């Protein structure tokens, strides 16, 4: 074995995987042993053998996005993420409560959220309240290219996954942001063997100025996982100054006496809409 080095997993389909080498080339790789199960975004050690490139070790993962499935438990969608670009559009319309949910996922996984209001050529997305909360908002159009340069600047050097409802333009944005998208995409499709993983596996693309963009059909199923309300509350960034100040340590922030969060809502320090959105989510996850 020689030529040891590192690579990034661009796509993993069962035991098959496509690796991005430090020079940007895509090559097929195989796990050296059974226990090595990679996911898109993994950093791996590789070695060249007579039979091709083998993955000898997966580096410790940070920033893992999980898909939670009641029957099958949780499975990783992608690893080593630091950013979640939450895409919304005037069509199909996105309720603010859906944006709250994506924001909470990003906050709880400690991914930096970017709100991308796509299709600005056909209309705006109501993002003022999120701007007021300190979130970064990008109004863009994958079709006209408006705002894409600024968005590309914000994504530079980041490991970002796109999330958002179906039809908001995630794929159109990947196509617009990745210059050699077509070539990369067909290489990734060929490597998949067009098996059953083809439509669900996450794919990683290099951003032109460093970093990666990950496109995953799996984000459709991204839901919040079961957790107590006290934990969910941390996913609402403006609630944080009041957390830990309620009478009860495990306050559900609902009808408990001396709830510091409800008091903040009553004073107008926290928006009633966001608070109600939190309660609705907490009710579903409890």
**117 near Zn ion, judged by CB under 5 A:** no
Q: Could you tell me which stretch among 84-92, 172-180, 206-214, 253-261 binds Zn ion (CB under 5 A)? A: 253-261
As given in the structure block, the two tokens for residue 81 are 């993420």
CB 111 within 8 A of CB 62: no
**121 near ligand GDP, judged by CB under 6 A:** yes
- Give the footprint of ligand GDP on residues 238-267 (CB under 6 A): none
Between 49 and 200, CB nearer to Mg ion: 200
The CA distance from 77 to 223, in Å, is: 12
Q: How far is the CB of 252 from Zn ion (least distance, A)?
A: 7
As given in the structure block, the two tokens for residue 175 are 């196509």
Q: Could you tell me which stretch among 54-62, 95-103, 161-169, 200-208 binds ligand GDP (CB under 6 A)? A: 161-169
**141 near ligand GDP, judged by CB under 6 A:** yes
* Nearest Cα residue to 2 out of 43, 50, 35, 42: 50
* Nearest Cα residue to 3 out of 41, 43, 40, 56: 56
Give the number of C-alpha atoms closer than 13 A to the C-alpha of residue 223, restricted to the C-beta side. 13
- Number of residues near ligand GDP (by CB under 6 A): 15
Residue 224 gets which letter from DSSP? P
* Nearest Cα residue to 234 out of 116, 106, 112, 114: 106
3-state secondary structure of 241: helix
**171 near Mg ion, judged by CB under 5 A:** yes
For residues 70 to 109, the per-residue mask of contacts with ligand GDP, x marking binding by CB under 6 A and - elsewhere, is: ----------------------------------------
Between 46 and 86, CB nearer to Mg ion: 86
As given in the structure block, the two tokens for residue 204 are 């990683």
Q: Could you tell me which stretch among 19-27, 77-85, 150-158, 162-170 binds ligand GDP (CB under 6 A)? A: 162-170
Quote the crossing angle between the two packed helices 260-267 and 272-285, to the nearest 10°: 150
Q: Could you tell me which stretch among 14-22, 121-129, 162-170, 238-246 binds Mg ion (CB under 5 A)? A: 162-170
Contact footprint for Mg ion (CB under 5 A): 170-171
Contact footprint for ligand GDP (CB under 6 A): 118-119, 121-122, 141-143, 164, 166-172
């Amino acid at each position: 074995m020689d030529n040891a080095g590192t690579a990034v997993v661009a796509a993993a389909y069962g035991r098959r995987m496509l690796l991005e080498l430090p020079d940007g080339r895509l090559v097929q790789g195989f796990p050296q042993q059974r226990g090595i199960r990679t996911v898109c975004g993994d950093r791996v050690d590789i070695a060249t053998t007579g039979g091709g490139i083998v993955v000898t070790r997966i580096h410790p993962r940070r920033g893992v996005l999980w898909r939670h499935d009641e029957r099958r438990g949780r499975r990783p969608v992608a690893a080593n993420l630091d950013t979640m670009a939450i895409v919304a559009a005037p069509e199909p319309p996105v309720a603010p409560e859906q944006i709250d949910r994506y924001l909470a996922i990003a906050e709880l996984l400690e991914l930096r959220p970017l709100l991308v209001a796509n299709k600005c050529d056909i209309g705006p997305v109501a993002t003022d309240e999120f701007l007021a909360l300190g979130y970064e908002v990008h109004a863009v159009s994958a079709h006209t290219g408006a705002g894409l340069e600024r968005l590309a600047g914000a994504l530079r050097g980041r490991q970002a996954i796109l999330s958002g409802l179906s039809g908001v333009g995630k794929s159109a944005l990947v196509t617009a942001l990745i210059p050699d998208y077509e070539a990369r995409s067909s290489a990734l499709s060929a490597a998949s063997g067009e098996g059953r993983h083809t439509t669900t596996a996450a794919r990683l693309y290099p951003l032109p100025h460093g970093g990666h963009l990950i496109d995953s059909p799996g984000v459709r199923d991204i839901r919040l996982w079961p957790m107590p309300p006290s934990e969910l509350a941390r996913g609402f960034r403006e609630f944080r100054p009041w957390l830990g100040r309620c009478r009860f340590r495990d306050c559900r922030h609902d009808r408990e006496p001396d709830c510091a969060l409800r008091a903040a809502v009553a004073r107008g320090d926290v928006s009633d809409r966001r608070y109600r959105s939190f309660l609705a989510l907490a009710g579903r996850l409890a």
